[in-house]
Amino acid sequence: MRDWRPWVAFAVAAGLALLTGLSYVTLALVGAAAFAGVLVLTRFDVRPDPPSTQARHDRRHGARGELQELAWGMVARDGRVSERMMRRIRVIGAGRLARHGLDLSDPADGRAIEELVGSQVFRTLTRTTSPHPKMADIKRAVDALDRIGTTRKNRDT
């Protein structure tokens, strides 16, 4: 079913323009403007959107949404890990190492960290210049950090 309201608006506006003595070009423009105005106005829905029925959940630290954001920002355009991912890995690594009494930013702890996670992982965690490491290096670092766990091992034994 076709909507006839824009055509009525065109005819009324053009008729009024004709009665006022405007030229045919002007009356066509006035009619077209009325046609377009009514066409646009009939497409608006003035009723408000219904409220969402989905329950909203608070995002907790480490929740699925955080993991998705991390996954989207992992690899930059050149195939290497993005700066955002590197910062996140450093924060996680520093937290894990701190539980073992080691400070990633302290050069004095460098040797002990290398012994704990390996020299390649240590270089990955401390790298701050370009080019950033590849995804395989990050996987190796995550595996090493996972291997050392979150609890401090007794060094005296």
pLDDT of residue 151: 65
pLDDT of residue 143: 85
Q: Is residue 135 part of a domain?
A: yes
Q: Is residue 54 part of a domain?
A: no
Considering the domain architecture, whether residues 33 and 71 belong to the same structural domain is answered as no
Considering the domain architecture, whether residues 90 and 24 belong to the same structural domain is answered as no
User: CA 106 to CA 104: how far, in whole Å?
Assistant: 6
**96-139: per-residue pLDDT in tens?**
888 888 888 888 988 998 888 888 988 888 887 778 888 888 88
Domain interval for residue 24:
5-41
Beta bridge partners of 75: 81
Domains: count for the chain = 2
Low-confidence ranges of the chain (pLDDT < 50): 1, 62-63, 156-157
Look at residues 141, 13, 148 and name the one whose alpha carbon lies nearest to residue 89: 141
Q: Is residue 103 part of a domain?
A: yes
Find tokens 């046609």 and name the residue: 35
pLDDT of residue 146: 83
Q: Which residues contact 83 (CB under 8 A, 6 or more apart)?
A: 76, 132
